[in-house]
Amino acid sequence: MVSFLRQENPYFVHSHTPKAGIIGMLAAYIARVPVRMHTVAGLPLMEATGFKRILLNLVERITYFCATNVYTNSKGLENFINENNFCDKSKLKTLGSGSSNGIDTAYFNPEEVTETQKANLKKELNIETTDFVFSFVGRLVGDKGINELIQAFVAVSKKHPSAKLILVGHTEAELDPLLPETLHSIEFDENIIEVGFQKDIRPYLALTNVFTFPSYREGFPNVVLQANAMGIPCIVSDINGCNEIIKEGENGIIIPTKNSEILQQKMKLLLEKSNLFKASKAEIRKGISAKFEREVLWNLLLEEYKTLENNV
């Protein structure tokens, strides 16, 4: 990478993700690239312990030291980095309201899914028009709170047989396996519908009454933005990113992490009181469009490039 950068002689290097960050920023520092930008879109170290945590802390510190500018995709991450003294505060910045790339609200629009599409998908998934549908989109792993979600849903569906849970995503058995009882419920509970990875998640969101996202850690979760853009209220865990998108009682509910009991209570509450939220579906969508439309973030990033170019 150092050889490549010396050959190309770029003015900017902008890296994303921890692995690309340590390689890109260290190489750009050695190659004396004038502007070295790194975006932090999540920190796996938040759930790490022991030697692994020490190692990951060191990697982040080296990355930020080599960078001239560090961008977090949420205020929560910015605060976390400051609290842990990973880098000089003067380097840190969050653009706009956060997120890595904003969201295409023209694409994530409930009107893009026709009534015929919804009817056909309901038939395919054996969902009745009277059913109340929860959904989750993402990797089906422990860190995403899937064990707690399945435990909570199973308890809810015993009292409310019309409840359904759609799981969109794939498992990672080797990296972060689910509990055996969780896997058993996913396979054998007829109210849990696992559809695997889907390129287009909009039809599944269009069937959803409440989106559930009890993740342990995030940078800035796009899928919560996508659900809100489709007008769907969300139950999310109280972590950075999630608690910056969701306003309690307006476009969703915030719950503690790793707490299936409270998740169960809130799922039951929303199932029984579907008119609980102050904001309508159109208002939920409007709030996301105003703050997180991707072109807004693109323009902020473009202005950042121009400013850095003029300052060096």
CATH number, domain of 182, equals: 3.40.50.2000
Same domain, 285 and 299: no
Same domain, 261 and 237: yes
Q: Cα 240 vs. chain centroid, distance in angstroms?
A: 10
| CA pair distance 105, 213, nearest whole angstrom | 20
Same domain, 73 and 160: no
Is 83 within a domain? yes
Same domain, 203 and 267: yes
- 236 forms beta bridges with 213, 254
| CA pair distance 310, 129, nearest whole angstrom | 58
- 192 forms beta bridges with 165
Same domain, 126 and 226: yes
Same domain, 43 and 133: no
Q: Identify whether the C-beta of residue 100 lies closer than 8 Å to the C-beta of residue 15.
A: no
Same domain, 138 and 255: yes
Same domain, 145 and 286: yes
What confidence tens digit (pLDDT) does each residue in 207-245 have? 999 999 999 988 789 999 999 999 999 999 999 889 999
Count of domains observed in the chain: 2
In this prediction, residues 183-194 reach a mean pLDDT of: 96
In this prediction, residues 110-127 reach a mean pLDDT of: 96
Strand ranges in the chain using DSSP code E only, listed in sequence order: 12-16, 35-40, 69-72, 92-93, 132-137, 163-168, 192-196, 210-213, 234-237, 252-255
More confident residue, 280 or 200: 200
Residue 187 pLDDT > 90: yes
> What's the pLDDT score for residue 267?
96
Confidence of residue 67 (pLDDT cuts 50, 70, 90): very high
Is 105 within a domain? no
Is 217 within a domain? yes
Same domain, 213 and 238: yes
Confidence of residue 69 (pLDDT cuts 50, 70, 90): very high
What is each CA distance from 304 to 12, 93, 104, 169, 297, in whole angstroms?
12, 11, 21, 35, 10
> Across the chain, what does the average pLDDT equal?
93
Three-class DSSP category at 172: coil
Same domain, 254 and 305: no
Confidence of residue 300 (pLDDT cuts 50, 70, 90): very high
Is 219 within a domain? yes
Q: Identify whether the C-beta of residue 177 lies closer than 8 Å to the C-beta of residue 147.
A: no
| CA pair distance 297, 103, nearest whole angstrom | 9
In this prediction, residues 164-179 reach a mean pLDDT of: 92
> What's the pLDDT score for residue 231?
95
Same domain, 84 and 150: no
> What's the pLDDT score for residue 120?
97
> What's the pLDDT score for residue 175?
81
In this prediction, residues 267-290 reach a mean pLDDT of: 86
- Domain region containing 147: 110-292
| CA pair distance 156, 149, nearest whole angstrom | 10
For helices 146-159 and 180-188, give the axis angle rounded to 10 degrees: 50
Three-class DSSP category at 308: helix
> What's the pLDDT score for residue 276?
77
The residue written with tokens 């910015």 in the block is 78
In this prediction, residues 249-271 reach a mean pLDDT of: 95
User: What percentage of the chain has pLDDT greater than the value 70?
Assistant: 100
> What's the pLDDT score for residue 100?
82
> What's the pLDDT score for residue 216?
94
Q: What are phi and psi of 244, to 5 degrees?
A: -100, -20
Q: What is the DSSP letter of 98?
A: -
Is 234 within a domain? yes
Residue 275 pLDDT > 80: no
